[in-house]
Structure formats: structure tokens, C-alpha cells
Amino acid sequence: MKNNKTIYSFEYGLADWIALKEDKDSTFKMTCCGSRAILKTSKLGTQFFAHKVKPKTNDCSTGGETPEHIHIKYLVSKKLFECGWSVEVEKRGVSSQGEVWIADIYAEKDKAKIAIEVQWSRQSFVETKRRQQVYKDSGVRCAWLLRSGSVKDRDAIVGDFLHRTKSVPVFSIYRNQKESDSAYKVYNVCKAASEERLNPDPLEQTELELNDFVEKLVSSKIQFYRTYSDTSKLTLDIVRMQCWSCKRVTNTVVKARFKNTLYGIENSYSSISQDVDECDSRTIELINNSFAQRYNFAPLRSRYSKTVDSSYIANSCTYCDALMGRHFMKSWGSYYSSQTVETDEITVPRKGRVLMEFGRVGYYSRAIDYNEGKWVLIDSL
């Protein structure tokens, strides 16, 4: 706190930080306890505030964070701030399910809310998914930077983490400690390879400096990559659910399912499914035009939810137009699962590559066969 106003060290360039250190007319206090604060710079270059007198309790400690962990949080926060985001560190929040979260870095810009977690200690894939769901229930999009294990294996995304998804964006981060001036590098990002291989559109892993990665991540230059074949068969899962508002039974779309021809071979298919709130605008248009009237459900559209304080694609009651939101579906979906009806299938146009941004979805024209999803640089394709 500078003269009772909250400030962050990442808001200051080097010259301004030095000037702030020499400011004798201002008082600085720690937000955690109100005690006197002093300005410091670590060996790694992290600008930070510290207690002038060591606190008597551990309530004001960094929670055992390593200097590298703190340094990465500082660098990410600084870059987000430079990109025009409103940034907080150690931000506390509560999900719609009543679960408390504390984000390493939390940022807002316009209506977007994101968190970036720096995971320097080991964490299981199950725990990462659990914490990701807490952020999702809070209307916050979260990305993960996981510590890479070694020079030989810089990509720390192993085991269950190999199942890369749009819903759990995980990347690995590495820095060569033998080189004092080396920058942090981020992996688990791909680019299009130049040479021709069996795969008609090969991808190669690349590396990005941390600042470059953060800037690209929040400017839609890194997107999740999935592909579809030339033609797809689209079906829906529909359940009859009692509306929470008017108590009448209404048809509700649960999932969209795609069956895609593999490598052009007849009767060889791969299948994927999406919850309706993750479908893009083109798929929603297809669903509404092809199925809504035939199966008597209200057209899917973007609806505002007070629960998450944001809008997303959702069902509505065909009688009273009440929002049949994702939290209502999650709470009661298993109860109605035995009543799921699968629609007839329709043939849909070639989708091509689907590139899912850090929170949004877009279609591109080139198409190859479906394979595992990867995060890719779209400015290199």
C-alpha cells in the first residue's frame, strides 16, 4: 500500500522502481498485515515488496514458494499488465459451488476473466482437473504452466497430461539454470512443419519465450487444434427434463456428437462429442436449423447466467423460456440420463480444422483427418 493505495511491483519499469525506492515522502505498508514495507529486487530480477521487520507469524509468508515460482508469477503479471489487463496476484474467489480458490495470477479485460497457475511442485492430473473445474464454476478461464523436469525432457506434459484438451490448457515451462541470463521457455505448443510427411499437415513442437507466450495466449494466437474429416455425421443427445421454473417437462439438448470418416475409408470412423455450451456458432446454427423444430426444443442461444456472471450457449424451457443452465444440467443430468434420446443423424459440410482459442472457438478451411488435439501457433499456419 502506497499512501493507502494498492500498488503492484510489476506496474513499474526499472527506472520507475528505482525512483520509487528513493521516494522519501511516501509510506509503504504490506497489504497482508499493515506493517512497514521495503522495496527489493531479487537475484533473478524480481521486483517485490517485503516486510521491513520479519513477521512474528507465518501468516504473511509466501507459502513456501521458490524464488523461481515467484519470479515467473512476476514476469507473467508484468506482461499481462503491459498487454492492458487488470492484474491481481493471489486473488481469492469462491465458485458457484462454494469452493474457494486462490489464483497465482488473475486478470480481467473487458468481460474476460482469466487465471494463470504456475505449478512448480508435483500435482496429479486429477487434482489439476478438479481445480480447473472450480475455476470453470467461477466463470474464469485458467491456463497452467507446469515445471519441466529436465533438459532431456523439457516437455513435462507426460502421463495423463498427454491427453491435451481445450478444457485443461496445460503447458510446460523450463529455464536452463546453467546459463544465468537464459529466459524461461514454454513448451507443449506446436507449429506447422515445413517438410512433407505421411501426415498431410505435420506439426512440430516449438518453444516460446515466456513473455512471447503470454502475449500470444491472450491475443488469440495460441489455439487448441482438432481436425475433422471431409464429411461428418451429426447427432444430438436430448433428454426430457422438468423446468426448474415452470415445472413443465421440456426437451433439452445435452451433447452434440460427430462421427467422422477416417482417411476416406468407408465404414472407418472416429467419434467425438461436445457439450452444447462448448459448441461454436456454426454448429449451433446447424443444430437449430436441422433439429429444433423436429425434436421440439427451444433454439440454443447465448444466455446470461447470474450464477457465473457471464453468457454462454444454453438451452431454454420451451414453455417459459427459463435458462436451463450448465449448473442445472450438471445437478440433474444423471437423474434424467436414462431418458436420453439420440436423434437421427444428418450429414454436415466439411468442417476442416477447428482451432479453439483460450476461451473462444473458430473455424478454418483446411482439413485433415482427426487426430489428437494440440495447442498450435496460428500465425505460423
Tell me if residue 330 falls in helix, strand or coil. Answer: helix
Per-residue confidence (pLDDT) for residue 319, from 0 to 100:
95
Per-residue confidence (pLDDT) for residue 56, from 0 to 100:
67
Averaged pLDDT, 57-77: 77
- pLDDT tens for each residue of 368-377: 223 356 788 8
| Residue 282 CA neighbour count, 13 Å, CB half | 12
Q: In whole angstroms, what is the distance from residue 48 CA to residue 205 CA?
A: 34
Averaged pLDDT, 160-178: 77
H or E segment to which residue 73 belongs: helix 67-82
Q: The C-alpha cell of 28 is what?
A: 509503504
Q: Widest CA span of the chain, in angstroms?
A: 78
Cβ atoms 352, 231 nearer than 8 A? no
Averaged pLDDT, 44-50: 82
The number of residues making up the chain comes to 381
Q: Is the pTM of this model over 0.85?
A: no
Q: Is the pLDDT of residue 199 over 70?
A: no
Q: With cut-offs at 50, 70 and 90, classify the pLDDT of residue 144.
A: very high
